[in-house]
């Protein structure tokens, strides 16, 4: 099993690095490989609803979305880390997750999704929910954690924040194993996703 981690923090702070390191330590302990991609500083535009992807299975814009799509196809789960601008996720992250889920033809059902929001000031719960709504729209189980998966950006993560990241990774690891067991033991399968119009 493997996890794709999307780093959507444009400044790539020590906080984000600590989050990824903590995720990696739990996943690797449980025999799950991790691939990390940094998209926060990329120029990723939003969807224009041109429907090019419906015919060819990839986005008309040749950017990080098309480059990372094969890694998402191979992954059993995805963790999206987003910096919070004012009260919303990094727009680059939202454009990326919107397009990578819609423009690709491979099945997303039962790929496990999780989100972590990082903010220097105030609440970043809305950022978590913004990303999670994409997962729920594609039949992807959403992983819970402690304290809402919101982490305040500082020079060093406190134990409460580290605990929240560990809890998320452990829950994700457990559910991935449950899904794998279901597929092996009970003939679990998913019907193809019925793609809707933009």
Using N-to-C axis directions, what is the helix angle for 91-103 and 64-74, rounded to 10°? Answer: 60
What pLDDT is attached to residue 123? 61
Residue predicted with more confidence, 68 or 8: 68
Strand partners, 7: 38, 81
DSSP, residue by residue, 102-150: HH--S--TT-EEEEEEEESSS--HHHHHHHHHHHHHTTPPBPP-SGGGE
pLDDT at residue 150 is higher than 60: no
**pLDDT tens per residue, range 10-60:** 776 778 888 999 999 999 999 999 999 999 889 999 999 999 998 898 999
* Mean residue pLDDT across the chain: 87
What pLDDT is attached to residue 39? 94
Confidence of residue 182 (pLDDT cuts 50, 70, 90): confident
> 158 by DSSP, 3-state: which?
coil
What Cα–Cα distance (Å) separates residue 82 from each residue in 103, 120, 123, 129, 173?
21, 12, 13, 11, 21
What pLDDT is attached to residue 161? 82
Residue predicted with more confidence, 104 or 191: 104
Confidence of residue 196 (pLDDT cuts 50, 70, 90): low
pLDDT at residue 9 is higher than 90: no
The full length of the chain comes to: 198
Which of 46-50, 81-85, 103-107, 184-188 bottoms out in mean pLDDT, i.e. has the lowest?
A: 184-188
**pLDDT tens per residue, range 103-146:** 999 999 899 999 998 877 656 677 888 899 999 999 999 998 87
Residue 7 backbone dihedrals phi, psi, to 5 degrees? -90, 105
pLDDT at residue 96 is higher than 90: yes
Q: Once rounded to an integer, what is the mean pLDDT over residues 150-161?
A: 64
Cα-based angle 178, 35, 88 (whole degrees, multiple of 5): 90
Of 129, 141, 130, 135, the residue nearest 177 (C-alpha): 141
pLDDT at residue 188 is higher than 70: no
**Percent helix, strand and coil across the chain, each to the nearest 5:** 45, 20, 35
What pLDDT is attached to residue 160? 80
């Amino acid at each position: 099993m493997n996890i794709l981690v999307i780093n959507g923090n444009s400044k790539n702070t020590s906080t984000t690095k600590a989050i990824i390191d903590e995720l990696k330590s739990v996943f690797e302990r449980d025999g799950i490989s991790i691939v990390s991609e940094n998209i926060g500083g990329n120029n990723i535009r939003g969807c224009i609803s041109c429907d090019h992807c419906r015919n060819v299975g990839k986005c008309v814009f040749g950017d990080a979305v098309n480059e990372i799509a094969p890694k998402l196809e191979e992954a059993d789960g995805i963790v999206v880390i987003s910096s919070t601008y004012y009260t919303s996720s990094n727009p680059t992250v939202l454009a990326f997750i919107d397009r990578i889920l819609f423009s690709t033809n491979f099945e997303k059902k039962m790929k496990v999704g999780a989100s972590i929001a990082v903010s220097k000031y105030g609440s970043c719960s809305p950022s978590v929910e913004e990303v999670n709504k994409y997962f729920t729209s594609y039949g992807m189980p959403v992983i819970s954690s402690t304290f809402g998966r919101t982490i305040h950006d500082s020079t060093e993560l406190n134990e409460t924040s580290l605990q929240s990241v560990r809890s998320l990774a452990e829950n994700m690891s457990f559910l991935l194993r449950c899904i794998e067991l279901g597929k092996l033991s009970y003939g679990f399968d998913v019907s193809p996703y019925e793609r809707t119009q933009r």
